[in-house]
Structure 1
Amino acid sequence: MVTKAVRLYGEMDVRLEEFQLPEMKEDEILAEVVTDSLCMSSYKAVTQAQRHKKVPEDIEENPVILGHEFCGRILQVGEKWKDQYQPGDKFVIQPNIGDKRGYAPGYSFRWMGGDATKIIFSNQVMENGSLLKYQGDTFFEGSLVEPLSCVVGAFNAQYHMKEMYSHEHVMGIREGGAMALLGATGPMGFLAIDFAIHGPKKPSVLVVTGRTQSKIDMAEKLYPVKEAAQNGVKLVYVNTRNMEDTAQTLCQYTEDQAGFDDVMIFAPDREMVSYGADMLKYDGCLNFFSGPADTAFSADVNFYDIHYNSTHFVGTSGGNTADMKQSIELIENKTVNAAKIVTHVLGLDQAAETTKHLPEIGGGKKIVYTHHKYPVIEVDKIGEISENNFIKGLKTILAKHGYLWSGEAERYFMNNAPDI
């Protein structure tokens, strides 16, 4: 079986290649990928290569397929798994497949990753319950299940005392409490705003910060204060760029200026971690969400508060399988509108270069349609592209949906964009 895939050979050495997959074994599954969502974690893998903990040392001889946020269809099922999976089933993948080495699809394997037309799932994926059925009506939202699960996992990992001085913890954010999302003006922060407003546990006060006004304005446009209020959440957007005492200023938005029950950090910034910790009230929980590239990253934290005010800290890296399943339901039921974070779409022919330049491109999630070749399209700026018949049709659809990517836009793209 021939496939086309983007493979990593070394630091910044990423190549789109056509090659032969091995014959599928009886305990494996052959699948086609339809969409992959590009992730900054893939950029880290590209820039670090063998220095990355999930990337094998022998990639120069045995390159790995990039991409871990992908969705597609099952083509063929090995004998071992015929009772659980069927050809034609749509799937999403939980990258944390239980490998003791920390290996994961999209970082570590020769035949398994999202930036490809066809792949082979190894037995370990199914054994770990990491190949999940998906019944959403779009593929691109399936590719956003994994990033949403990271946010869901972070919310689920928060914890608080059942009662004062209790050693029994209640998991999750404090319902009806005060919550701050610091540096939350990127795609993951946007998902966190959406989930805080629409999820099963809601804060009564939600403060969202950023340092770039245009990004804050975009967040407020996508997640209006009025919509949050309709869901019982007082939502406040704050630009912290020129604040002198950020912790004290932000705490003024909480009841009696007592501080926050839940604080999440969406940027690997030492100062932000320090003032985020200072914002916690008694039994407050801080989640360091953003993964730093610096292995020696540290920040000053007040241990007086840890001792006397029972403040505590968690760090989450990705979601587990239960978080993935919850995220699938959120997307299938349209509780969370993941389409709001899609800012670019592209063909597989552009995936390598786009991954290498993700920090420069900015914006939200970039959706790769793996069976097509097409230049990168910035969704809300499609009017700036010289019009041809393809763009005219796509522009009409986007205008209908408020210049958000949609199932209609996806179907049009897949039916009309050139095959790779």
Structure 2
Amino acid sequence: MDKHTEMQAVVCHGPKDYRLQRISKPQARPNELVIRIAACGICASDCKCHSGAAMFWGGDNPWVKAPVVPGHEFFGYVVEVGEGAEEHFEVAVGDKVIAEQIVPCAKCRFCKSGKYWMCEVHNIFGFQREVAEGGMAQYMRIPKTAIVHKIPESVSLEDSALVEPMACSIHTVNRGEIQLDDVVVIAGAGTLGLCMVQVAALKTPKKLVVIDMVDERLELAKQFGADVVINPSRDNAREIINGLTDHYGCDVYIETTGVPAGVTQGLDLIRKLGRFVEFSVFGAETSVDWSIIGDRKELDVRGAHLGPYCYPIAIDLFERGLVTSKGIVTHDFPLDNFAEAFELANSTKSIKVLLKPVV
């Protein structure tokens, strides 16, 4: 290879086996794009995949198909268009774009009925290389069934890099069907939780409560619109929620901690007939008393997966200044320092860590 046909990329070979390599630069086939990556965020699921969580590597047919370039929180600039791609995606060379994290098959019952985010094949950028590699590289190929959106140049680099998490947050908050008189609890004030706080605040619930173990994140949550913040290491969450709800419990509980305690806590804090929204990707199994869900509280338990139909909304909210990445994007590194970036991303010393490939 020479410098014109190769590129730098992080390549996942297995749990805790990620390497910086020179690999072939992608080429656009008909109805495909190649983009130059401007930034790629490190997601909590990337950290759990890196550490070897069972949901990624377990069983006879593991979800991750290594070797693969990781990364699904990316955006970039179109540098190459395959035959028909400009019309197919309604973009041109030089456009600033993002592709949704899932590459739908366009053939299964879910894709055909418009529920593409639950695609049966379920190829996600950065985990299976059969369709396309991820964004932790200098360049990336966007296949023809990807869903591409343009980002205005007025949206900053950091905001653009946060479009994927914000889209997921919008979908999750929408699943909670927040009403004006609701007391809403968001558990977890990492990247997704802090994005959800901003979106939930736009819904103007009666009270917006955020729970986290890190005071700096709780302070940021207050800046984003939280009315009450709770640190379970010193605060009695049940007592505080009882005081806000005449001892009934919260109306909506959104779980985005990624740890089992976030689930059991929610089942305790939520009122009868409440709406429990589960977003997290867990690194370990969670056990709960299911009689709480049925016999004791008759809860409406809803999952939230990806950000379907929410990317244009996220981009619009960033463009209008109604949501922000300020305070959430805390660090950025070149690809050369990816190991340090992953270590930091997997700690409470950061919130969102970006990789910024240098071309």
Q: Which residue of 2 aligns with 1:88?
A: 94
Q: For residues 18-417 of structure 1, what are the structure 2 equivalents within 5 Å?
A: 18-48=22-52, 50-51=57-58, 53-56=62-65, 59=66, 63-83=67-87, 84-99=90-105, 100-109=120-129, 112-125=133-146, 130-135=147-152, 136-158=154-176, 172-182=177-187, 184-197=188-201, 199=202, 201-211=203-213, 215-221=214-220, 223-224=222-223, 228=225, 235-242=227-234, 246-254=237-245, 256-294=246-284, 296-303=285-292, 306-307=294-295, 309-320=297-308, 322-355=309-342, 358-360=345-347, 362-371=349-358
Contact 1:91–1:133 at 8 Å: present in 2 too? yes
Structure 2 CA distance, aligned partners of 1:101 and 1:131? 19
Contact 1:248–1:279 at 8 Å: present in 2 too? no
SS in 1 for 2:316: helix
RMSD: 2.4
CA-CA distance at 1:23 after TM superposition: 3.8
Q: Which amino acid aligns with 1:42?
A: D
- TM norm structure 2: 0.84
Contact 2:190–2:217 at 8 Å: present in 1 too? no
**With CA pairs under 8 Å and 6+ residues apart, which has the higher RCO, 1 or 2?**
2
Contact 2:212–2:218 at 8 Å: present in 1 too? no
CA-CA distance at 1:332 after TM superposition: 1.6
Relative to 1, partners in 2 of residues 1:346 and 1:23: Cα closer, same or farther, differing over 3 Å? closer
Q: Which amino acid aligns with 1:134?
A: I
Q: Which has the higher helix share?
A: 1
Contact 1:33–1:73 at 8 Å: present in 2 too? yes
CA-CA distance at 1:280 after TM superposition: 2.2
In the alignment of these two chains, the number of paired residues is 332
- CA-to-partner distance for each residue in 1:227-247, whole Å, 9 max, x for gaps? 74xxxxx70112222456x43
Structure 1 residues without counterparts, runs of 5 or longer: 159-171, 229-233, 372-419
Q: Which amino acid aligns with 2:313?
A: Q
Structure 2 residues without counterparts, runs of 5 or longer: 106-119
- TM norm structure 1: 0.72
- CA-to-partner distance for each residue in 1:75-107, whole Å, 9 max, x for gaps? 121122222221111111211222433221121
CA-CA distance at 1:116 after TM superposition: 0.9
